[in-house]
Amino acid sequence: MDNNNNKPDNNRNDKNRRNMNGLLHLVAWALVLTIGLQYLHIYMGKNNPKADQQFEISFTEFMELVKEDHVEEVVFKDGLITITPAEGYVHTVENAKGEAKEYKENFTLYTVALNNPELFPTLDQHNVKYYSPYEPQMPLIMELMIGYILPVILMVAAFSLLFRFMAKRGGGFGGIGSVGKSNAKVYMEKQTGVTFADVAGQDEAKESLEEIIDFLHNPAKYTAIGAKLPRGALLVGSPGTGKTLLAKAVAGEANVPFFSISGSGFVEMFVGVGASRVRDLFQEAAKVAPCIIFIDEIDAIGKTRDTRFGGGNDEREQTLNQLLAEMDGFDPSKGIIVLAATNRPEVLDKALLRPGRFDRRITVDRPNLAGRLKTLEVHTRKIKLSEDVDLDKLAQATAGCVGADLANMVNEAALRAVRHNRLAVNQEDLLISFEVVIAGAEKKGTVITEKEKRIIAYHEVGHALVAARQKNTQPVTKITIVPHTQGTLGYTLNLPEEEKFLMSREDILSEIRTLLAGRSAEEVACDTQTSGAANDIERATELARNLVARFGMYEEFDMMALGTVNGQYLDGTYAMNCAQETYAAADRAVAKIIRACHQEAKQLLLDNREMLDAVASYLLKKETITGQEMMAILEGRDPEQVEYYGLNPTQPKAAEDEAPPAPPPQTAGDPVPMPTAEGPVEDHPSADEPREE
């Protein structure tokens, strides 16, 4: 007990001793620099004349000048005689090359004062003025204070400020300036102000985290039967799904301190600094336990260690090793929970993911229809809404959006309402803002020729018509030929009527036909091929390659996987890992599928040529139409009397408003999202360059 009680005193004494040693080192360095500067100043003062043209002569020359009446005045100071020549005297100086240069005015001479008894009589005899200026003697203590003590104090203060500045910046020279200190920001529950009421659309993730919160509040209930507190939980999901918000909500619900640091905050140019910061972070957390440590973007330090060349000794690897050791070493009964977030779980080290470190892996996925509705309700709590706002319709229109998209959309709608001098946000604001956030605003200054406009119209109507004439496709929601800021000259928006988590082979082929229908319409109606189909071709090829290489839906390869997915929560790309012959055969299979779907889409348009011309003509007239208007034309009804996601026919369509409208999720017949093990990954591209959410 006595030893434990003495530990804080010993630590305090060691810290005071280190501080005193540091101060003594600063004073010593400052004193050495001050003395050196003083002697340098004295030396320079004695050996560097103040005048611009001042030349040294010998004492004998000086006496001869006095006797020849060439001296007007002399001054005795600091062992030197400064000589002012008489008017008319010319002084000649030879340089190193032997060249002579004459000085006739604005120069002085000086020589060393010698004890010559004839000096003063000679000066008097030739009427030369001479004197020595009086300088009052400063007390010795003042000389020491001004010359030595004051500079030392100033230098110590300057060094202290410099080191303090480096400490705040988290850097220094080889560890000076608290380079190893943790930069974690500590949030208390009252400061975060975030609870589970602020998080919507992630019910499964909240359920997994609620047990951790209950453990922090009532540990005895779990320890009574021998249960242990989970050491950590890894939050995995696409960008914008709310991983950081969930971590803050856990701290807010548990009412415990919240340490937050980014994975990149551990990495520095000095090897060992990251490991030092990890140790410091866990030491600080242990002092205020129970608490939560949140490491955002943990893949910055948690990547798989490279063993191809016998391991490594770089800064990131040492930081990871220290993190593994700390997560093994802390006492779980103290209530320290480590939460981490990443959207690249596939690159994390296996030792970091094993039970005992991150016991739980919580997927924070894109919200479904009910989740989007709840998310919209959360983000519109503080927004004044008009009576015509229908969040159910809006949730249906925003399929595939994550929480960050919805929050941005609501904010853009509020800004648009202010721009139009309204006191509340209406349904039109929300729909237009959804399209602006997803694809950008209209480019009103773009001038398109009538020929190009006609090609674009047939291209977009081709997508929409083929989608409408097939089964298992997403219904067309909107068609426009107005250029937008993200490079699109037009787009066709397809949105699902219901949540879909699987795609059949026929679904994929239907989407490929829909994508290729734009180019097919150009060929059928305009007898041409344009570059506007570039993005459609890329997406169709990707779908066909997935059908062959990933989904096992091609007879030649049966259920053989030819590729591996990389970045499931980011771009979703994959790399082929098969033999070159198999790769070539897969390419031929993809080309065969594309060719067949192209011909089928072209035949569909030829069979419905009259409808193609009718819808294209209406689109050229209106520039922006809804899917309901197109279906009304196909069914022989009045296209003016249709509804658009809560907007009745008497209201202006979103695209006809003067505010910046823009394209939404899917472009020119963009396909249904590709299904994954976690559920569908929905895309929201714009016409020429799709953007994956």
Residue positions annotated with a catalytic role: 460
- The CA distance from 535 to 199, in Å, is 36
Angle, helix 580-607 to helix 609-622, in steps of 10 degrees: 80
User: Which segments within 545-593 are labelled E, that is strand?
Assistant: 563-565, 574-576
Look at residue 92 and give its three-state secondary structure: strand
CA distance 94 to 100: 4
Q: Which two tokens stand for residue 144?
A: 């020491």
User: 662 burial class (0-12, 13-18, 19+ CB within 10 angstroms)?
Assistant: buried
Reduced DSSP (H G I as helix, E B as strand, rest coil) percent helix, strand, coil of the chain, to 5: 50, 15, 35
> Angle, to 10 degrees, between the axis of helix 580-607 and the axis of helix 450-468?
100
Half-sphere exposure (Cβ direction) of 667: Cα atoms closer than 13 Å: 33
Q: Classify 123 as helix, strand or coil.
A: helix
Phi-psi region at 586: left, alpha or beta (left = phi > 0; alpha = psi -120 to 50):
alpha
Q: State residue 296 phi and psi, 5-degree precision.
A: -85, 145
Take residue 534 and report the two structure tokens written for it: 């570039």
**The CA-based dihedral angle spanning residues 382, 385, 389, 392, taken in that order and rounded to the nearest 10 degrees:** 10
479 vs 463: CA distance, rounded Å: 9
Residue with tokens 């036909």: 513
Q: Is the dihedral of CA 432, 433, 436, 437 positive or negative?
A: negative
Q: Residue 126 has what DSSP assignment?
A: T
DSSP 478-492: EEE---BTTS-S-EE
H or E stretch covering 265 = none
3-state secondary structure of 187: strand
Three-state secondary-structure class, residue 77: strand
Residues 304 and 349 sit within 8 Å (Cβ to Cβ): yes
- Tokens for 232? 């950590």
Q: What is the SS3 assignment for 473?
A: coil
CB count within 10 Å of CB 631 equals 17
d(CA 474, CA 634): 17
Contact between residue 325 and residue 551 where contact means Cβ atoms under 8 Å apart:
no
Alpha carbon distance 589, 582 (integer Å): 10
Please state, in angstroms and rounded to a whole number, the distance separating the CA atoms of residues 525 and 542: 27
Secondary structure (H, E, C), 57-71: CCHHHHHHHHHCCCE
Cα-Cα-Cα-Cα dihedral sign, residues 96, 101, 102, 103: negative
Spatial distance between the Cα atoms of 629 and 618, rounded to a whole number of angstroms = 9
Backbone angles phi, psi at 549, to 5 degrees: -95, -25
Give me 338's structure tokens: 């480590």
The single residue listed with the structure tokens 């037009």 is: 490
